[in-house]
Amino acid sequence: MLACGIAAPAAPAAAAPCAPWPDYAAFMARYLSADGRVLDADSARHVTVSEGEAYALLFALVARDERRFARIAGWTADNLAGGDLARRLPAWQWGRRDDGSYGVLDDNSAADADLWLAYDLLEAGRLWHRAGYRATGRALAARILAEETADVTELGRVLLPGAHGFGVEGGWRLNPSYLPLEVLRRLARAADPGYRALAASAAAAIAASAPHGFVPDWIVFRAAGGTAPDPVAGARGSYDAVRVYLWAGMLAPADPARQRLLALLAPMARAVAGRGAPPASIDAAAGSAAGTGPPGFSAALVPFLASAGEWRAAARERRRAGHVADPGSGYYDDALRLFGLGWAEGRFRFGTAGELVVRRGPACA
């Protein structure tokens, strides 16, 4: 442990017994159906999104909950990917239709979810010695490269936010929070070396999107070069962008991009330390902050603040996030809590090659 009770960014203790994970148990009890779908009950259509399934799979990996992992993976394949994640990118949204039946609401893909799904399957194959998971993860990773990437001026080959609809007049819409370097590095090692180019372009895209240290939710990269504010979201950075700081904070100490990203995003670390709470949104172009973010934002920023050396702020945000999820906070907020607080509690780390390192000992499930 380092100052203020924040775990050092290194591998979890090798022989530590696995204590119960209250936040994991609460998340699964609150959001996971018996058949394996993460339900956002607060949404009008009781939706499930592919991102929620991907995050739940990762948390099950950390908890070494093989049965629940299999149930979530099965539901995802059967309902979002026509029965086979190796042959089809999953639809991003499923829920109640206008006629009252349930099914796919939007069959476009969400590339961030797809990356995490491929990662989860590959790591499940490695950690649990399951060849089937490993094969499906590699096939999905290949499909992502084939269907969700494009050559973008000044960046090279980049990950698009989905298979369709992200070209705009004179450029491409990108989402910096869809580019976790840990995941891209692991896919480059375990699935396809083509992901090395995506990791390089991801680091460049994040840097180009945050010239003042604040990341927008969405940004346009022009075909003629340079960037422009997103035509829909403008320069606002909020619910999407908070994940950029989370991914950066969880990078392995030896990751070649870690120090550069932490230096680039240092204004955000200083802003949170000075404000006493994370902002609900920031104008990434002007650097002006507004409102106070929910507890999930606090949890998401704990790894970032700790890795940036803002120990007091990290400890404060960890206290604010609390130890038991707020029943009214919602699926996304609670998912951020599991990422940020699970990392702070030493339950998992990402290795230099992006591999998932989990605390050894008896299973947490």
Q: Which of 40, 53, 112, 217 is catalytic?
A: 112
From residue 81, give the alpha-carbon distance in Å to each of 16, 74, 116, 184. 38, 10, 15, 22
CA distance 274 to 236: 20
DSSP 3-state of 217: coil
| Tokens matching residue 38 | 């993460």
Annotation says 112 is catalytic = yes
CA distance 93 to 112: 13
| Tokens matching residue 85 | 């994640």
Are 360 and 14 within 8 A, CB to CB? Answer: yes
Closest CA to 143 of 190, 111, 177, 182: 111
Annotation says 345 is catalytic = no
CA dihedral 253, 254, 255, 261 (to 10 degrees): 50
Pairing of strands 93-96, 102-106: antiparallel
Q: What is the DSSP string of 56-70?
A: HHHHHHHTT-HHHHH
From residue 323, give the alpha-carbon distance in Å to each of 197, 248, 340. 39, 23, 11
Q: Which of 23, 40, 51, 114 is catalytic?
A: 51
CA distance 211 to 360: 40
CA distance 365 to 362: 9
**What residues act catalytically?**
51, 112
